[in-house]
Amino acid sequence: MDPQLLISGVIFGLSIGSVFFLLSIGLSLCFGLMRIISLDQLLYYAIGAYITYTLYLVTGSVWIGVLGGMVISGIVAFGVERFIFLRIYERDITFTMIASFGILFAGVGAIKYIWGLAPLPVPSPINAMASIFGTEIPIYRLIVIVISFLVYVSIWAFLNKTITGKAIRAGIENVEHVEGLGINVYKLFTTTFIISGVLSGLAGGLHAPLIMVDPQMGLEVLPFVFMVVIIGGLGSIKGTLVSAFIVGQVISLGAIIYGPLAQMAPFAIMLLILLIKPTGLYGSKMLKR
């Protein structure tokens, strides 16, 4: 294999893995604390991308668009949590997953009504290239990778160094013990849901310059997001990061070796890992809520 093609493939895999991580972390956090499968995170991902596009047209700055997308996604996530999920947290996990799927489809319909059906382009905020071992790499892709690592470090610091974060981490282990300490777990649920929505919006905003913004974009990445969360282990932040980069590399290098591998190989990797470790790389046995 051409070394330059290999380097380009690795960087592409890291950048797409970074987007998968930012998008999957919301699913992982929501499952870990609330024991819900929040497929509506894919809606906030699409909202982040479309707000980035809209604010770019208004301000001429993609970065302002990304920040605006994060804010709007967080606000929408807060509204969904307050008016829908707050009423169904106690229901069976299958019920909450179906409800979140309905929210996703309703949101896709709203996006089509507001922005139309045609794919929309968002330009890269940085067109410069960097040379890595003689291979020209878009600096923007490197920035996306760095941002994902900064987000991981920030989440780790929040969960381990702040009172609210420690309460969330304790809730992930055993929510009944947290309730026994007199902590309002529903406030933790709301905080976690907003953080998840903001990060999903960030994923959409950062991904927008790398693809065409499309109403179906959330549904298109759904299989890969599921694979990331399952491979890493439900509720594991570290596992989500590691599995996101694994899936990203498998997609990228698989496409270089043989096109159809980009779609097939991640499923094969997931099945292999689940055969060896059914809970995922860093997952633990599911606790009853």
Over residues 142-160, the pLDDT tens digits come to: 999 999 999 999 998 988 8
User: What average pLDDT does the chain have?
Assistant: 86
- CA dihedral (207, 209, 212, 214) positive or negative: positive
pLDDT of residue 127: 87
Average pLDDT over residues 22-30: 87
Confidence of residue 174 (pLDDT cuts 50, 70, 90): low
31-42 mean pLDDT: 83
Task: Say yes or no to pLDDT of 62 above 70.
Answer: yes
For the chain, the residue count is 289
Q: How much is the average pLDDT of 50-70?
A: 96
Rounded to two decimals, the pTM is 0.90
For residue 136, pLDDT beyond 90: no
Average pLDDT for residues 243-265, to the nearest whole number?
82
Of 17-31, 130-144, 180-194, 238-252, which gets the smallest average pLDDT? 180-194
Distance from first CA to last CA of the chain, Å, rounded? 50
Instruction: Give 287's pLDDT tier (boundaries 50, 70, 90).
Output: very low
Locate tokens 């998840």: which residue? 196
Query: Which residues have CB under 8 Å from 187's CB, separation 6+?
Result: none
Q: Residue range 278-289: average pLDDT?
A: 63
Residue written as token pair 């694979």? 227
Side chain identity at 265, as an amino acid letter?
A: A
94-110: b (≥16 Cβ within 10 Å) or e? eebeebbeebbeebbee
Rounded to whole angstroms, the Cα distance separating 208 from 52 reads 8
The pLDDT assigned to 46 comes to 95
Q: Residue 130, SS3? A: strand
C-alpha 99/C-alpha 70 separation (Å) is: 23
pLDDT tens sequence across 184-208: 777 888 888 999 999 999 999 999 9
pLDDT band at 286 (very low <50, low <70, confident <90, very high): very low
Residue 185 CA to residue 191 CA, distance in Å, equals 10
Q: What pLDDT is attached to residue 42?
A: 94
Residue 123: its pLDDT value, please? 93
Which of 18-32, 104-118, 161-175, 220-234 is predicted least confidently?
161-175
